[in-house]
Amino acid sequence: MKYKFYNNFKKYLTISTVLSLTIFTTNCVAYNPPVTSSEVSEVSLSSINNDKINTYITLKDSNTSVNGDGVLISENTIIISQGGTYYITGTLTNGQIQVNSESDVSIILDNTNIACKNGPAIYSLNGDVTILSAENSINNLSDSSEYTNLDEDSEPNGCIFGKDRITIDGTGTLNITANYEDGIVSKDELKIKGSTINLTSVDDGIRGKDFVEINNATINITSESDAIKSTKGYITVNNGNIQLTAGKKGFESSSEFTLNDGNINILKSTEGVEAANVIINGGYINITSSDDGINASDGSGKNTRAFIKDPNAKMHERKDIENKNTENGIYKPIPPEISEDTSNNTAPKMLQNIPFDAPPAPPAFNNKTDDSAENNLSIEINGGYIFINAEGDGIDSNGIITFNEGVVIINGPVSNGDGALDSERGIFYNGGTVIAAGSSGMAEAPNNDSSEGYSLIYNGETIAAETLVSLTDENDNVILAFKPEKNISSVVFSSPNLKNGQTVKIYLDGKCTSELNNYGYYTSGTLENASLLETITLSSKTTSAGVKQSFGFGRQFKRNHENTDTSN
């Protein structure tokens, strides 16, 4: 826990001085002494170990009652001044829970309703705070559109605001309405380990400074700005259900975003995920974006926190995935089942969690001294299911993109100024299934010096939306087939079932005899009434097909093209 100078000084203050420091949040100075246990409301504590509770608080406007120590009351401002576990129930129509403690504080909310008209509903000036929602409880927190008594940093600025570490836990429901700026803010570390959180905000939804970690939580956010962000550190999602409707970015991290497992549904965003390094090891993520779906960018042109990867070196080998599903030696990815309910108030169905021990080791650091931001940025897909519907670039890295495992389906842009795949320093395909469809003006495909795996890119005339596009072997067995949601003129197919020297066929229209999976693509079956577009033999790591051959494998083509002197 990080302490400012005044925090170190506070430990020498008397309780009366602490009261005077905190009284600024209300206009009244009345103090209600502790009461006996007989005056405490009886509530269900089925999920709580009573032996660990130090103090019971029953909220009531101008008549809050307390059984235990460590609490000061100034009208409807409830001040927790020492460490311990505090059980809180009841209602304040205009009040605040405030923490000012040198020791850790745990707050248990059990059917607690707090509305504050001049600041956060829960405000921690000093001390690490854990906020737990009791089993089967529904807790409502809200602030107003105006705050008073802001500090020199224009803070606080969140319905739950803490200057130190905040942990959200429990099995109940936490409903947060942020009318001033953000929903949950920690100026230190933010951990969400449980609970169902339904949050609406006029600015950011959840914001942590050092990092944001999410485990086993159900989170529904509607925000006018970014939904979940870390201003100075990383974001890690280990598992859980997350549904985001963001006015700006779904996830934004200044360093790294990692998805290990879980179910993420980004219904609306300008960019679904933006971080210097994006690592997806597993889980499910569905992104709808008005700009890029996934973007590796530091946002400033400089980046000192990201891994430095050498784009000229061979990429590390594709990771072995246990229990890989195969049939006669053919890789058959099995998509998980997901809920069809995409309403803002209902979390998508939880996927079965896969135990995760540790993230894969990053590639070796190179010895280059180039401080270009491009040299440090990356997107790495090691597993999971990624589905992107983007008006801008589908996956855009200002550094490199690496596909090692997993399934990636991109319905990309229709404008020729963007591409389904876009990289500054190369795309490397080592394994997994990739279908990336979009316009052909800026189309890119994996580099020919990928360490293993084969790809085919088709660049041709416009293919209408909902037209079946299929890739088969020479015996007309389907390798990959799908129906794009938009008009496209370019599509990249990457699959472990593509081999060097293999003859493949590209078909349009028709019907596939196998069953369509949940995500609109096929990996088996044969075709009926389809039209053969082209037959081609794979001759390199990435083989091109179609009538438009003047496209670039990566940004280098674009740079060469843009730098060509045409003045003569």
Q: Is the pLDDT of residue 354 over 90?
A: no
The answer to whether 485 and 464 are in contact (CB under 8 A) is: no
- Confidence band for 55, pLDDT divided at 50, 70 and 90: very high
Q: Are 126 and 163 in contact (CB under 8 A)?
A: yes
| Structural tokens at position 555 | 């940004």
In the structure, what pLDDT confidence band is assigned to residue 22 with cuts at 50, 70 and 90?
A: very low
Phi/psi at 151 (5° precision): -85, -170
Confidence of residue 50 (pLDDT cuts 50, 70, 90): low
Q: Which pLDDT band, with edges at 50, 70 and 90, does 33 fall under?
A: very low
State mean pLDDT over 18-32.
34
Higher confidence at residue 44 or residue 136? 136
Mean predicted lDDT score pLDDT of the chain: 80
Distance from C-alpha of 427 to C-alpha of 403, rounded to nearest angstrom: 8
Q: pLDDT value at position 554?
A: 43
pLDDT recorded at residue 547: 73
Measured CA to CA, the distance from residue 524 to residue 512 in angstroms comes to: 8
Residues 6+ apart with CB under 8 A from 110: 43, 44, 45, 48, 87, 88, 89, 133, 134, 137, 139, 172
38, 229, 235, 251 from 396: Cα distances, Å: 62, 19, 19, 15
Residue positions counted in the chain: 568
Contact 115, 151 (CB under 8 A): no
| Mean pLDDT value of segment 192-215 | 96
If one compares 472 and 519, the residue with the highest pLDDT of the two is 472
pLDDT range class, residue 327, cuts 50, 70, 90: very low
Instruction: For 246-300, write each residue's pLDDT tens digit.
Output: 999 999 998 999 999 999 999 999 999 999 999 999 999 999 999 999 999 977 5
d(CA 7, CA 515): 63
The pair of structure tokens assigned to 216 is: 């086993």
Burial of 504 (0-12, 13-18, 19+ CB in 10 A): buried
Confidence of residue 51 (pLDDT cuts 50, 70, 90): low
Q: Which is more confident, 200 or 515?
A: 200
pLDDT of residue 391: 97
Task: Write out pLDDT tens, residues 121-166.
Answer: 999 999 999 999 999 999 999 999 999 989 989 999 999 999 999 9
